[in-house]
């Protein structure tokens, strides 16, 4: 077991993964391909996703229809999915840039696990609830500004995540410029706690490895 401070990261990663569908190999491939198509910077047609995977489009509709956290526009194009969103479709204080393209993240932690799945480096700029900007460079974590930044976290409630992951989980996960500032905020939000940026990144890798074990081999 990997324990850092009072937070057991293995247990925490397992509790997060349990709140999302268990993905077979096809679903892992579909999920990662959807992320990578969204990372091109445009809404994604289900037909395009089916073509890329070489599967019937009905299968794509069926799978995405059973997953929480899939957001589509009026044309049935996917514009947001499990932490990644086209910025025109989703306003967020958590933004990142990949290959010159800007995206919205649903919470601070998304910016730490998405780069591994995309296979790309992200330049992150996140505005904390106190209005201070925290900046990171993430493939692994190459840069953190300010250096003492921390991240708030919340043990997810799976029922809440299935209904609305944004309001029950994402809205409680932020970067803060220092431990002192972060502790003041978490003291006012029941159930939240702090992890260092390093711990948060280790947690991101554990989550990805558990959720996408076959495709990340």
pLDDT, tens digit, for every residue of 115-160?
A: 999 999 999 999 999 999 999 999 989 999 999 999 999 999 999 9
Dihedral sign, CA of 3, 8, 14, 19? negative
pTM: 0.94
Cβ(181)–Cβ(128) under 8 Å?
A: yes
Run of H or E residues at 72: strand 70-72
Assess if residue 53 is contained within a domain: yes
Assess if residue 124 is contained within a domain: yes
Assess if residue 159 is contained within a domain: no
Assess if residue 185 is contained within a domain: no
Structure tokens belonging to residue 136: 């990171």
pLDDT tens sequence for the chain (217 residues): 333 446 799 999 999 999 999 999 999 999 999 999 999 999 999 999 999 999 999 999 999 999 999 999 999 999 999 999 999 989 999 999 999 999 999 999 999 999 999 999 999 999 999 999 999 999 989 999 999 999 999 999 999 999 999 999 999 999 999 999 999 999 999 999 999 999 999 999 999 999 999 999 8
**What values do phi and psi take at 6, rounded to 5?**
-95, 0
Assess if residue 128 is contained within a domain: yes
Domain that holds residue 35: 3-142+197-211
Assess if residue 161 is contained within a domain: no
Assess if residue 191 is contained within a domain: no
CA gap 147, 211 in Å, rounded = 30
Assess if residue 132 is contained within a domain: yes
Number of domains in the chain: 1
CATH number at residue 79: 3.30.450.410
Quick: pLDDT tens for 104-125.
999 999 999 999 999 999 999 9
């Amino acid at each position: 077991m990997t324990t850092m401070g009072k937070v057991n990261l293995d247990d925490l990663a397992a509790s997060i993964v349990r709140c999302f569908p268990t993905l077979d190999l096809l679903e892992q491939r579909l999920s990662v391909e959807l992320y990578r198509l969204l990372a091109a910077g445009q809404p994604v047609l289900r037909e395009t996703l089916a073509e890329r995977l070489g599967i019937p489009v009905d299968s794509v509709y069926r799978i995405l229809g059973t997953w929480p956290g899939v957001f589509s526009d009026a044309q049935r194009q996917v514009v947001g999915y499990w932490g990644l969103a086209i910025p025109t479709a989703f306003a967020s204080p958590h933004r990142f840039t990949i290959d010159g393209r800007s995206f919205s993240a649903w919470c601070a932690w998304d910016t730490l696990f998405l780069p591994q799945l995309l296979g790309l480096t992200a330049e992150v700029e996140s505005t904390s609830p106190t209005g201070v900007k925290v900046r990171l460079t993430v493939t692994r974590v190459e840069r953190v500004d300010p250096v003492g930044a921390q991240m708030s976290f919340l043990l997810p409630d799976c029922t809440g995540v299935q209904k609305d992951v944004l309001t029950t989980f994402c809205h409680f996960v932020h970067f803060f410029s220092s431990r002192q500032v972060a502790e003041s905020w978490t003291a006012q939000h029941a159930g939240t706690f702090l992890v260092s940026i390093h711990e948060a990144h280790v947690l991101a890798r554990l989550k990805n490895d558990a959720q996408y074990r076959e495709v990340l081999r």
